[in-house]
A and B are shown apart, each in its own frame.
Chain A
Amino acid sequence: MGSRERTFQEGARVALANTQLRRNLGKATSTIRAKRARVVGELPDWEALREAGRAIKAHTLLHLDEYLVKLETSVIRAGGQVHWAEDAAEANRIVTELVQAAGAREVVKVKSLTTDEIKLNAALAQAGITVTETDLAELIIQLAGETSSHILVPAIHKNRAEIRAIFRQTIAKEQPLSDQPQDLAAAARAHLRRKFLSASVAISGANFAVAETGTVCVVESEGNGRMCLTLPQTLITVMGIEKVIPTFQDLEVFLQLLPRSSTGERMNPYTSLWTGVTPGDGPQTFHLVLLDNGRTHVLRDEIGRQTLQCIRCSACLNVCPVYARTGGHAYSSVYPGPIGAILTPQLANLERAETLPYASSLCGACYEVCPVKINIPEVLVHLRGQIVRHQGRTLSAEAAAMRWLARQFATRSRYERAQRLGRRAQWPVARHGVITRLPGMLAGWTATRDLLPLPKQTFREWWQQREGKP
């Protein structure tokens, strides 16, 4: 393990104390949750669609090598160029060089998690290139100098008043500005229009890329992505290798699953599809950067690999009782919430983020809504197993207690002895009838909850008494 990073518990403690954040998150997640439930409920074949989505993704992942090569061939045939990046550093270097080769000093960006994952903006800034995020929420975050707290709505933790304050300090200094959504949007629009018209290079991620045709697809709500994808001369798309799908027809499934799961809409307002370059129309140079950055490692794990089926809809965040209270920053990752709790540690080969798989009560709400049926609780438990194995025989109080308990549970006689021992040993904490304070690891329980002492008679003692035998 490298230098010590912030644990989930530490991040959560900060977030939980912020009552404004709790209100903002609670309101936003419950609204979007209800919208999703409504539009999903409309479709009689929703379960069949989920299964189709899962099956297409699972199949593609098992043949990823073939589909990626096919995608490369198709993109080149359509006039695009393809680059392969093993990790973040390589991807950042490729993109930086491409921007420099285009002679650009500023770029506009379509909302993209993958470029956040590799910290592309910082790499470009270091090379003296100015980056403008054009998704409204990404722009808010960028102007505030913060990081995203949600996959789909990065500024979910901010309310209107807070957004107004950020704009007043940055893009709307000289003008009156209310906290009405249309006024805030108008201020952003005025700022962004200038950027769209001046930037010669745009950078995007991809929701899907079709191996058969080389078509890349970006799904969005605002139309700012469409501006980036059509106005600049050069378009650079960075996509994780798991985003490839075999055929154009497969989009039929995902374009139904994604908007209903993410924004709770039947259809998203803007679906942009492009295939290489088209002379005289749109960007005349197109680069596709295919990013691994740990994904082939995830692919090796039979249980963990379903994580790569994710289409980044964020339905799991919105239903997660943990996320809804801590928000995204507690996860210290571009990928927060339940999907982040399984994706982040796997991408890092469990070298970091070891507290994330424990940031779940295993309530199962995420699995229930996942449009591609990723069994997140199954992967969480699987990763917990890897973490415990990874820690080996390290002496922790928890591991010692767990191993001791497992030995007591192994046979009836040891188990019954442990029950009797517990009853005797609890005297110091239980003598007043209710346990209000426990030591060590268990102190977290009694901080806000009482515990009843062990009763005088176990069930098995009652049973034996009733049966009249020892």
Chain B
Amino acid sequence: MRVTLFITCFNDTLFPETGIAMTHLLERLGCEVEFPLDQTCCGQMHYNTGYQREALPLIQHFVQVFQEAEVVVSPSASCVGMVREQYPRAAAQFGDVSLAAQVAALLPRVYELSEFLTDVLGVEEVGAYFPHRVTYHPTCHSLRGLHVGERPLRLLRAVRGIDLVELPDAVECCGFGGTFAVKNADTSQAMLADKVRAALETKAEIVCAADNSCLMHIGGALSRQRAGMRVLHLAEILAATEEGV
């Protein structure tokens, strides 16, 4: 299967390791992977902060870049959520009929990584080996936006050597929320403090999630506290083998 990576501007710029891991993982599973260099940003930050007019050209650009793809797969539940939920709204909001039609045609082919692996490729055991104690944080957009449910956990449970431990109050938001983390920094920090406390309780070595944005938030606090716990994207755990990534 020919997979077009929607790596997201965030991962492209800040977390290249996640995209590299995803490329290796998908190729290991027999996919032909391509990465259109014209892709930039899906417009989520602008749209959700209220800069919707500014987001519109980014949305149009995204649709242009990906409209010919067989399937589009992304390591970000929140950017996929943006495309799936907000793109149709944006098209309606700006009365752009042709954009609405293009979005409707593209949407069924856009997947978050765990959805793609379990629903399209039909795999749970992806040949990964990761002998570490890991706790999984279900991000809000994966859980309540995309409704990925147990998919990431099913994938993680099938990883050889993993010691997967449950995160207390897992479904609670970590307090990131995009610009919320800076606009309402105090409240965001209070939410983060509770998430970090729960993560530390697990005595895990690694906090894993399907979104690097939430992980950057949680990881930022773990780093500041010198907590001895780190964060890692789901793709990087699934890509790991006895031979390394």
- Using a CB–CB cutoff of 8 Å, the interface residues on chain A facing chain B are 8-9, 12-13, 16, 22, 321-322, 325-326, 357-365, 367-368, 378, 381, 383-389, 399, 402-403, 405-406, 409-412, 415, 419, 422, 434, 436, 441-442, 444-445, 447-452, 454-455, 457-464
Confirm or deny: B232 has a beta carbon within 8 angstroms of a beta carbon on chain A: no
B 208-245 contacts with A by CB, 8 A: 216-217, 219-221, 223-224
**B75-100 near A? 1/0 per residue, CB < 8 Å:** 00000000000100100010000000
Which one of B14, B55, B175 has the highest number of Cβ atoms from chain A below 10 Å of its Cβ?
A: B14
Question: What residue in chain A is nearest B181 (Cβ atoms)?
Answer: A445
Within 8 A of A (CB), among B32-59: 35, 37-41, 43, 45-55, 57-58
CA distance A362 to B182 in the complex (A): 14
Report whether A322 and B185 are in contact in the complex, using a CB–CB cutoff of 8 Å. no
CB atoms of A362 and B47 under 8 A apart: no
Q: Decide: A385 and B14 in contact? CB cutoff 8 A.
A: no
The yes or no answer to B104 lying at the interface (CB within 8 A) is no
* B106 to A: closest C-beta gap in Å: 19
B187 near A444 with CB under 8 A, answer no
Q: Is the CB of B12 within 8 A of A458?
A: yes
CA distance A22 to B188 in the complex (A): 14
Can you list 7 A-B contacts (CB < 8 A)? A9-B183, A362-B180, A399-B51, A409-B9, A410-B40, A449-B224, A455-B14
Cβ of B216 to closest chain A Cβ, rounded Å: 7
* CB nearest to A469 among chain B residues: B37
B13:A444 contact, CB within 8 angstroms:
no
A362, A455, A464: the one contacting B178 at CB < 8 Å is: A362
By the criterion CB–CB under 8 Å, are A325 and B191 in contact? Answer: yes
Contact of A459 among B7, B43, B224 (CB under 8 A): B7
Contact across chains for A8 and B217 when beta carbons are under 8 A apart: no
Q: Does the CB pair B40–A411 fall under 8 Å?
A: yes
B173 at the interface (CB under 8 A from A): yes
Once A12-B187, A403-B54 are accepted as A-B contacts, the answer to whether A452 and B14 lie under 8 Å apart by CB is: yes
Determine the distance from Cα of A19 to Cα of B193 in the docked complex, in whole angstroms: 13
**Chain A: minimal CB distance from B38 (Å):** 5
List chain B residues, Cβ under 8 A from A389: 50, 53
Q: What would 5 more interface pairs be, CB under 8 Å, given A386-B50, A445-B181, A449-B192?
A: A16-B187, A361-B140, A451-B220, A455-B14, A459-B15
Chain A residue contacts of B172, Cβ below 8 A: 321
Residues of B at under 8 Å CB distance from A?
7, 9, 11-20, 23, 35, 37-41, 43, 45-55, 57-58, 61, 86, 89, 93, 140-141, 143-145, 171-173, 175-193, 216-217, 219-221, 223-224
Q: How far is the CA of A444 from the CA of B183 in the complex (A)?
A: 8
B46 proximity list for chain A (CB < 8 A): 402, 405-406
Q: Please give, as numbers and ranges, the residues of chain A lying within 8 Å of B189 by CB-CB distance.
A: 447-449
Cβ B184 vs Cβ A410 within 8 A: no
Chain B residues whose CB sits within 8 angstroms of the CB of A399 once the complex forms: 51
Would you call A358 and B183 a contact (CB within 8 A)? yes
Interface pair B181/A385, CB less than 8 Å apart: no
Considering only CB atoms, which chain A residue lies closest to B85 in the complex?
A378
- In the bound complex, residues from chain A placing their C-beta under 8 Å from that of B89 are 378
Contacting pair B220 A449 (CB below 8 A): yes
Is B220's CB under 8 angstroms from A445's CB? yes
Cβ of A454 and Cβ of B13 under 8 Å apart? yes
A189 to B52, CA, bound (A): 54
Contacts of B224 in A (CB 8 A): 436, 448-450
How far, in angstroms, from A458 to B35 measured CA to CA in the complex?
A: 13
Q: Which of B20, B47, B186, B223 contacts A462 (CB 8 A)?
A: B20
Interface pair B177/A441, CB less than 8 Å apart: no
Task: Report Cα–Cα, A358/B192, bound state, in Å.
Answer: 17
Tell me whether B16 and A363 are in contact (CB under 8 A): no
Q: Chain B nearest CB: distance from A341 CB in Å?
A: 11
Are B191 and A322 in contact, with the CB atoms below 8 A?
Answer: yes
A361–B48 Cα gap in the complex (Å)?
10
Residues in B whose Cβ lies below 8 Å from that of A459: 7, 11-13, 15-16, 18-20, 35
Residue of A nearest to B171 (CB): A365
Q: How far is the CB of A12 from chain B (nearest CB, A)?
A: 5
With A363-B140, A410-B40, A448-B221 already in contact, the answer to whether A8 and B14 are too (CB < 8 A) is: no
Separation of A419 and B40 alpha carbons in the complex (Å): 11
- What residues of B have a CB within 8 angstroms of the CB of A388 in the complex? 49-52
Q: How far is the CA of A215 from the CA of B41 in the complex (A)?
A: 54
Q: Are A406 and B13 in contact (CB under 8 A)?
A: no
CA distance A441 to B183 in the complex (A): 8
Q: Which residue of A lies closest to B42 (CB)?
A: A409
Question: Are the CB atoms of B216 and A451 closer together than 8 Å?
Answer: yes
Among B9, B19, B188, contact of A415 (Cβ-Cβ < 8 Å): B9
Residue from A16, A322, A403 having most chain B Cβ neighbours under 10 A = A322
Beta-carbon nearest neighbor of B188 in chain A: A361
**Minimal beta-carbon separation of A95 from chain B (angstroms):** 37
- Closest-by-CB residue of B relative to A387 is B50
Residue of B nearest to A449 (CB): B220
Cβ–Cβ contact B187 & A460, under 8 A = no
CB of B40 within 8 A of CB of A367, answer: no
A406-B190 contact, Cβ under 8 Å, with A381-B47, A381-B86: no
Contacts A321-B191, A415-B9, A459-B12 hold; do A402 and B144 have CB atoms under 8 A apart? Answer: no
Say yes or no: B13 contacts A322, CB within 8 Å. no
Contact A381 B182 (CB under 8 A): no
**How far apart are the CA atoms of A389 and B52 in the complex, in Å?**
9
Complex CA gap A359/B185 in Å reads 10
What residues of B have a CB within 8 angstroms of the CB of A444 in the complex?
181-183, 185-186, 188
A460 CA to B38 CA, complexed, in Å = 10
Q: Tell me if B187 and A381 are in contact (CB < 8 A).
A: no
- Of B50, B144, B190, most buried by chain A (CB within 10 Å of CB) is B50
When distances are taken between beta carbons in the complex, the residues of chain B under 8 Å from A463 are: 19, 23, 35, 37
Q: Once the chains bind, are B144 and A363 in contact (CB under 8 Å)?
A: yes
Cβ-defined contact, B48 with A384, below 8 A: yes
* Closest chain B CB from A462 CB (angstroms): 6
Min CB gap B120→A, angstroms: 22
B38 neighbours in A (Cβ, 8 Å): 412
Check A362 against B140 for contact (C-beta < 8 Å).
yes
In the bound assembly, the distance between CA atoms of A409 and B38 in angstroms comes to: 10
Q: What residues on B are CB-neighbors of A451 within 8 Å?
A: 216, 220
CB neighbours of A385 from chain B (8 A): 50, 52, 93
Q: How far is the CB of A331 from chain B (nearest CB, A)?
A: 12
Closest to A399 in B: B51
A358 to B50, CA, bound (A): 9
A402 partner, pick from B14, B51, B193, beta carbons under 8 A: B51
Q: A321-B191, A381-B48, A402-B49 are in contact. Are A361 and B16 (CB under 8 A)?
A: no
